[in-house]
């Protein structure tokens, strides 16, 4: 058969294509969709599309922090029907994470009911739980009705959704983000919002400030579950300058004397992302396997706060040596990765340094947090939309 005998697509017949080329094209399309629509957060509001659509749907349902709760099933249904045509469980899992104070440094959803716990227990079904937005989520939406951001048609063209939220809150650095795409991943640990705002103010006043200078305000991540950062300063600086690295995080512990030379060790904070029940099970397994000769027993006496009681084999055991042994063999010490791979302007994956991420020009809502209330929104000289006034910072506890 000659090339002239092959039917053309215009004739309505099947077209013969090269299998290798077709697979490459389709896989590239899938990879780009995964990178931009699922795994990587937008550098401007720090949200992935599913989180952005959940917050937008809750705004349309008028689920403000001062309004009554509504069933999570209502929120999930509206998100699926209007904005995000994917599985209900994946959307609910995303909303549950936004409500967990041990997963989010500043939760965006205020949950009522069982939304899981640090032991790894899952949330109740969405027909049982209720939700509304927090004050932080309202900060992300501030100005959305005042021409602050662009909108685009939804998947079926029946409605509009925001391309990005105004972002009057440094959400990417404050809450962090994790995701795995095709050929790339992201891992941004949470930070203290008061420190972020101080660094942003310094950068506004000193545009040529270096990462080392910004670290005077942001010495490192600030995790919702606490812990002690034991990474050398030089290593933290290198990670923030390059956008890649890791942080060594240890549990916080204290010694409690019980009298007559007897003491116990109490762990009050554990590393970020560690499930407490699995941590206790792992230590118990090592104890039974006789790999922890200095340890006698471990008990979980946690209530609202974490309290893991560790009993040494004898009162003569050095607690520091016992804890070093536990740090080495268990998740009482973890390495938290840093990979600031985010979508620059919502389209281009790029690994950013701390300086680039803290720059006011990288945020949609360019605020300088000096204490004055926000008064309005307008176009900036480069065509993007930004705040014309400043905003007061959200009060937060520091380390």
Annotated catalytic sites, by residue?
128
Report the DSSP pairing between strands 160-162 and 151-153.
antiparallel
Neighbour tally for 51: CB within 10 Å: 26
Q: How many CB atoms lie within 10 A of CB 80?
A: 18
- Say if CB 188 and CB 342 are below 8 A apart: yes
Query: Which residues are registered as beta bridge partners of 259?
Result: 262
Contacts 24+ apart (CB under 8 A), 63-69: 63/131, 63/132, 63/133, 64/132, 64/133, 64/138, 65/110, 65/132, 65/133, 65/134, 65/135, 65/137, 65/138, 67/132, 68/132, 69/110, 69/112, 69/130, 69/131, 69/132
Contact 237, 193 (CB under 8 A): no
Contacts of 399 (CB under 8 A, 6+ apart): 192, 222
* Whole-angstrom distance, CA of residue 370 vs CA of residue 389: 9
State the DSSP code for 272.
T
**Calpha distance 147→379 (Å, rounded):** 9
Distances, alpha carbon 209 to alpha carbons 166, 201, 238, 345, 361, in Å: 26, 11, 16, 23, 14
DSSP 273: T
The radius of gyration of the chain's CA atoms, rounded to the nearest angstrom, is 25
User: 127, 74 in Cβ contact below 8 A?
Assistant: no
């Amino acid at each position: 058969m000659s090339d002239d005998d092959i039917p053309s697509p215009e004739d309505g017949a099947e077209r013969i294509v090269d299998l290798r080329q077709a697979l490459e094209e389709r896989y590239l399309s899938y990879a780009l969709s995964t990178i931009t629509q699922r795994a990587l957060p937008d550098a401007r509001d720090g949200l992935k599309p599913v989180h952005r659509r959940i917050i937008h749907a809750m705004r349309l349902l008028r689920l403000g922090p001062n309004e009554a709760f509504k069933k999570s099933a209502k929120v999930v249904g509206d998100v699926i029907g209007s904005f995000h045509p994917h599985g209900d469980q994946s959307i609910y899992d995303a909303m549950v994470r936004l409500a967990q104070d041990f997963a989010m440094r500043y939760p965006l959803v205020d949950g009522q009911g069982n939304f899981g716990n640090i032991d790894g227990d899952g949330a109740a079904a969405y027909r049982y739980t209720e939700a509304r937005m927090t004050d932080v989520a309202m900060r992300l939406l501030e100005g959305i009705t005042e021409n602050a951001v662009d909108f685009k048609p939804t998947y079926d063209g029946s409605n509009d959704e925001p391309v990005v939220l105004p972002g009057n809150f440094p959400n990417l650095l404050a809450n962090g983000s994790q995701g795995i795409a095709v050929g790339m991943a992201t891992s941004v640990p949470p930070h203290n919002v008061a420190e972020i705002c101080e660094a942003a103010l310094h950068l506004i006043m000193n545009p040529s400030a270096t990462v080392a200078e910004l670290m005077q305000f942001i010495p490192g991540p600030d995790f919702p579950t606490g812990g002690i950062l034991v990474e050398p300063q030089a290593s933290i600086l290198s990670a923030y300058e390059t956008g890649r690295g890791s942080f060594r995080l240890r549990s916080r512990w204290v010694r409690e004397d019980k009298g007559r030379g007897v003491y116990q060790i109490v762990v009050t904070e554990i590393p970020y992302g560690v499930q407490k029940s699995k941590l206790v099970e792992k230590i118990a397994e090592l104890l039974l396997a006789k790999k922890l000769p200095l340890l006698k027993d471990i008990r979980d006496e946690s209530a609202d706060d974490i309290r893991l009681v560790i009993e040494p084999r004898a009162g003569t055991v050095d607690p520091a040596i016992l804890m070093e042994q536990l740090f080495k063999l268990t998740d009482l010490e973890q390495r938290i990765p840093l990979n600031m791979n985010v979508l620059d302007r919502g389209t281009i994956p790029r690994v950013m340094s701390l300086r680039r991420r803290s720059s006011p020009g990288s945020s949609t809502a360019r605020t300088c947090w000096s204490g004055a209330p926000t008064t309005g929104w307008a176009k900036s000289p480069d065509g993007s939309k930004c705040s014309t006034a400043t905003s007061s910072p959200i009060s937060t506890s520091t380390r």
